[in-house]
């Protein structure tokens, strides 16, 4: 009974917060509702018994990605009238994307009933889904796993290269220079005569 209650709670909250992401007037509120949606989706994953995925969802999406979203959205200076002005013009594109997503979801739902994805042996319940996932990822799906890793690495390096620019006029702190200095070259002891300063 608790399970059913929890499912409807999480499902309702996911859908509600999903709707509020779109309808919230303030972009920061949108992002916060998105976080609530992520969180409840993680709850649904937990109910499915996929605790590893659920916690990864919270850790990666809620803990890191959404923080950066929030970071950027908070600093945006948005003119709402301007933002709304292109609504009818952009509507066809939006509808097209929505249709594609809907079709994908329908395919996924129908495919889910077509049989197990992995081999024909039934999933053993004794194995924790953490070790089951690890086993699949490092044996059967080793190549896609490594490939996705390389793609992410390339994306990361690309982002760094694109945003990094060398400004010639900045004097950065060079820690190793500071650490390498020793008192002999940094300090000079003098006893200046009275009435005269120290000559540099």
Partner 1 sequence: MIALVLIVAIVAALVLLGWLIPGVGEFFSTAFWGGAVQGFEAAGMQQDWAYGLGTLIHILLIALPLMLAVAMVIYTERKIWAAIALRRGPNVVGPWGLLQSFADGLKVFLKETIIPSSANKALFLIAPVITFTVALIVWAVIPFDVGVVLADINVGLLYILAASSLGVYGVIIAGWASNSKYPFFSALRAAAQMVSYEVSIGFVIMGVILWAGSMNLTAIILGQQGHVLGLLNGYGFNPLLFPMAVVFFISSMAETFRTPFDLVEAESELVAGHQTEYSSMSFALFWLGEYANVILMCALNAILFWGGFLPPVDWEPLYAIPGIFWLFLKMGIFFFMFGWVKATVPRYRYDQLMRLGWKIFLPLSLAFVALVSGWLMFTRFEGGAL
Give the interface with partner 1 as residue ranges (CB under 8 A): 1-2, 28, 32, 35, 51-52, 55-56, 58-59, 62-64, 67-68, 70-71, 74-75, 128, 130, 173, 175
The angle, 0 to 180 degrees and rounded to 10, between the axes of the packed helices 2-23 and 27-47 is 160
Report the nearest approach of partner 1 to the CB of residue 103 (Å).
33
Backbone angles phi, psi at 125, to 5 degrees: -85, -15
Nearer to partner 1, 11 or 36 (CB): 36
Residue among 89 and 167 whose Cβ is closer to partner 1: 167
As a whole number of angstroms, the distance between CA 18 and CA 23 comes to 9
To the nearest whole angstrom, how small is the minimum distance from the Cβ of residue 74 to partner 1? 5
Minimal distance, residue 79 CB to partner 1, in Å:
18
Helices (H), 24-128: 27-47, 51-56, 66-75, 80-85, 87-112
Per DSSP, the three-state class of 11 is: helix
CB-nearer residue toward partner 1: 26 or 85: 26
Place of tokens 């600093």: 75
Residue keyed to tokens 């990605």: 65
CB of 165 to partner 1, least distance (A): 17
Of 163 and 173, the one with the shorter C-beta distance to partner 1 is 173
């Amino acid at each position: 009974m608790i399970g059913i209650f929890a499912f409807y709670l999480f499902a309702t909250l996911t859908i509600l917060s999903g709707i509020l992401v779109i309808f919230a007037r303030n972009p920061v509120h949108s992002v916060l509702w998105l976080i609530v949606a992520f969180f409840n989706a993680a709850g649904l994953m937990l109910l499915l018994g996929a605790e590893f995925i659920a916690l990864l969802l919270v850790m990666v999406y809620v803990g890191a990605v959404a923080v950066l979203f929030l970071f950027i959205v908070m600093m945006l200076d948005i003119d709402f009238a301007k933002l709304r002005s292109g609504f009818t013009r952009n509507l066809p594109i939006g509808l097209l994307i929505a249709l594609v997503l809907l079709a994908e979801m329908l395919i996924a739902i129908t495919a889910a009933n077509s049989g197990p994805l992995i081999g024909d042996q039934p999933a053993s319940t004794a194995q924790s889904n953490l070790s089951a996932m690890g086993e699949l990822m490092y044996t059967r799906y080793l190549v896609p796993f490594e490939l996705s890793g390389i793609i992410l690495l390339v994306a990361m390096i690309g982002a760094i290269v694109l945003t990094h620019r060398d400004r010639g006029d900045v004097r950065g702190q060079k820690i190793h220079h500071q650490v390498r200095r020793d008192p002999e070259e940094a300090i000079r002891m003098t006893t200046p005569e009275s009435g005269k300063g120290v000559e540099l």
